[in-house]
Amino acid sequence: SLKLAECGLLGRIPDEISRLSVLRELSLYSNALTGTLPQGFSRLLHLRYLTLSNNQFHGTLPQYLNNFVLMREFWAHDNDFTGPIPSFSQAPDIYRVFLNDNSLTGLIPSDFIQATIGGMQESETIYVNLARNLLTGTVPASLDTLQNLEIVWMLGDNKWSGISDELCDNSNWNE
């Protein structure tokens, strides 16, 4: 674990972060870190917990995040990330995704957190916060395949055009 939260760190994350290839937890929240996520992150395939919240990161969330099959928690709220949200479709144990308060755009991927169907314990609650972004379109019907899991969805303050009818009878929907 590398926990550097609230340490007053400034600047960019160096690409040499890749040298920590067996790192399981990286916590960098509430600093003044800037720039985009370095390519070196793509080699941190053992990450289970990644916390980047409350910084000044920008740019798109890299697609290599979808390769983090061991990821359990991804916290990147309160930055200025743009572009599409990652699907996290290869991470069967992910149960915390906090991407709220960014400038993310586009649709929720049709395979968003789909690997959790076979991976999660029935007693665990999954939390997904995509609120206060610029997401558009219809909240997809594909999310209804997750109906047997207990999920707290926070989707408010986006630019949704609607919600799929299949989701309206799902009691796990919030906001």
Q: What is the mean pLDDT of residues 8-19?
A: 94
CA–CA separation, 87 and 142 (whole Å) = 12
pLDDT digit string (tens) for 110-137?
899 988 876 666 667 889 999 999 999 9
Cβ neighbours of residue 169 under 8 Å, at least 6 residues apart? none
CA–CA separation, 173 and 19 (whole Å) = 41
Residues 30, 3 contacting (CB under 8 angstroms):
no
pLDDT digit string (tens) for 59-102?
999 999 999 999 999 999 999 999 999 999 999 889 999 999 99
